[in-house]
């Protein structure tokens, strides 16, 4: 991905995005049959994780309005390590990171959503804590 400035005043490390809230991460993943972008809540404390998930649900309309699409909201699921997490995500099927002709499709899926997710986060993160 070419360098793209973030919506806030700080430089953005897109691969290790700093949400400013501990245990809340932005994830981008591409595998052999899909690509996903997500907000992942990894608080080990169930109460805190659910608190932040409910706070994000309060601004769900802003996220989906910004994105121009509905996202998948899962309050409890297992991550790749078997830990319980909450995840808000969007996935595109039928692409393979190992298939070079799929790269433009994957990039055109992830890049605008990450930029818009950054704009959304700048708008709402102060109100989440």
**Is residue 37 in some structural domain?**
yes
Least trusted range by pLDDT, from 5-9, 45-49, 68-72, 112-116: 5-9
3-state DSSP call for residue 80? coil
Q: Which residue has the higher pLDDT, 81 or 92?
A: 92
Orientation angle between helical segments 103-128 and 60-67, nearest 10 degrees: 150
**Is residue 26 in some structural domain?**
yes
Q: How many domains does the chain have?
A: 1
Least trusted range by pLDDT, from 6-10, 42-46, 118-122: 6-10
**Is residue 43 in some structural domain?**
yes
- What is the Cα–Cα distance from 38 to 41, expressed in whole angstroms? 10
Cβ burial of 59 (10 Å; 0-12, 13-18, 19+) is: middle
**Is residue 86 in some structural domain?**
yes
pLDDT digit string, tens, across residues 109-118: 999 999 999 9
Query: Could you tell me the residue range of the domain that residue 92 belongs to?
Result: 14-128
**Is residue 5 in some structural domain?**
no
**Is residue 107 in some structural domain?**
yes
Is the pLDDT at 14 greater than 80? The verdict is no
Specify the pLDDT at position 1.
44
Nearest to 71 by CA among 19, 26, 22, 24: 26
């Amino acid at each position: 991905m070419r360098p793209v400035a973030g919506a806030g005043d700080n430089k953005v490390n897109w691969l290790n995005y700093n949400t400013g809230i501990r245990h809340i991460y932005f994830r981008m993943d591409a595998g052999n049959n899909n690509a996903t972008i997500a907000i992942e809540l990894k608080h080990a404390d169930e109460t805190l994780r659910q608190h932040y998930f409910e706070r994000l649900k309060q601004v769900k309309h802003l996220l989906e309005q910004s994105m121009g699409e509905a996202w998948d909201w899962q309050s409890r699921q297992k991550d790749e390590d078997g830990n319980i997490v909450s995840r808000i995500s969007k996935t595109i099927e039928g692409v393979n990171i190992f298939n070079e002709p799929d790269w433009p499709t994957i990039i055109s899926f992830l890049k605008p959503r990450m930029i818009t997710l950054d704009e959304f986060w700048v708008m709402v993160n102060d109100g989440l804590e």
